[in-house]
Amino acid sequence: MDPDRYRAVLSRFVTGVTVVTTLDDRDGVARPFGTTVNAFSSVSLDPPLILVTIGRERSILPVLARTGRFAVSILAEEGQALSDCFAGGPSVAPREDFCGARWHPSVNGQPLLADALAWISCELERTIEAGDHTIHLGRVVDLSLGQNEGWPLLYWRRQYLRIEHAASVALQGKPDAT
């Protein structure tokens, strides 16, 4: 498999951008930790399950294994700088300081980023090894909509995409997708 071709083809699938967060309380000091993730999907409504796919080398992986819980913040287009920072890119605020992001705790104590479009709080149901990534299946314990009703941050062809014009069209197919 040619990695460039794999990336080029898969990058034609536009996604939103999330930050997966967890509260690391090792040594009695609570530290919020986050990483940018677009490999996010709804999975099941009953029971409510979502998944995020995290690379084996990502520093959040052992933290998630320890905490056993996480939250997903769905970024608005204004969240681009946070997306860069939580992906380890150049940033004004250091990533060690949670990228300077404002947050509040979810019902299960996980960090929810202020100004996100929506949040999903999960208990880690199980992990599935999948090549160079690990699928994290989360059992949803709480979810909520933010005050921000703006546009989402999008990711396409390895760059951010902003919605300039949008029209909503009634769905003709069977609306069974969650």
Ligand X SMILES: Cc1cc2nc3c(=O)[nH]c(=O)nc-3n(C[C@H](O)[C@H](O)[C@H](O)COP(=O)(O)O)c2cc1C
String marking each residue 4-23 x if it binds ligand X according to CB under 6 A: -------------x------
String marking each residue 116-155 x if it binds ligand X according to CB under 6 A: ---------------------------------------x
Among 41, 42, 44, 59, binds ligand X (CB under 6 A): 59
Residue 39 C-beta: closest distance to ligand X, Å: 3
Among 21, 23, 33, 38, binds ligand X (CB under 6 A): 38
Q: Beta partners for 73?
A: 19, 119
56 or 107: whose CB is closer to ligand X?
56
Does the bond joining 47 to the residue before it have cis omega, within 30 degrees of 0?
Answer: yes
Residue 73 near ligand X by CB under 6 A: no
33, burial (CB in 10 Å: exposed 0-12, middle 13-18, buried 19+): buried
Question: What DSSP designation does 3 have?
Answer: H
Among 50, 51, 54, 76, binds ligand X (CB under 6 A): 54
Calculate the alpha carbon distances from 83 to 9, 51, 172 in Å.
22, 19, 34
In angstroms, rounded to a whole number, what is the distance separating the alpha carbons of residues 161 and 157? 9
65 or 107: whose CB is closer to ligand X?
65
Residue 96 C-beta: closest distance to ligand X, Å: 10
b/e burial code for range 94-125 (CB count within 10 A of at least 16 → b): ebeebbebebeebebebbbbebbbbbbbbebb
8 or 107: whose CB is closer to ligand X?
8
Q: How far apart are the first and last CA of the chain?
A: 32
Among 21, 22, 35, 110, binds ligand X (CB under 6 A): 35
In the complex, the residues that contact ligand X under the rule CB under 6 A are 17, 35-39, 53-55, 58-59, 83, 86-88, 155
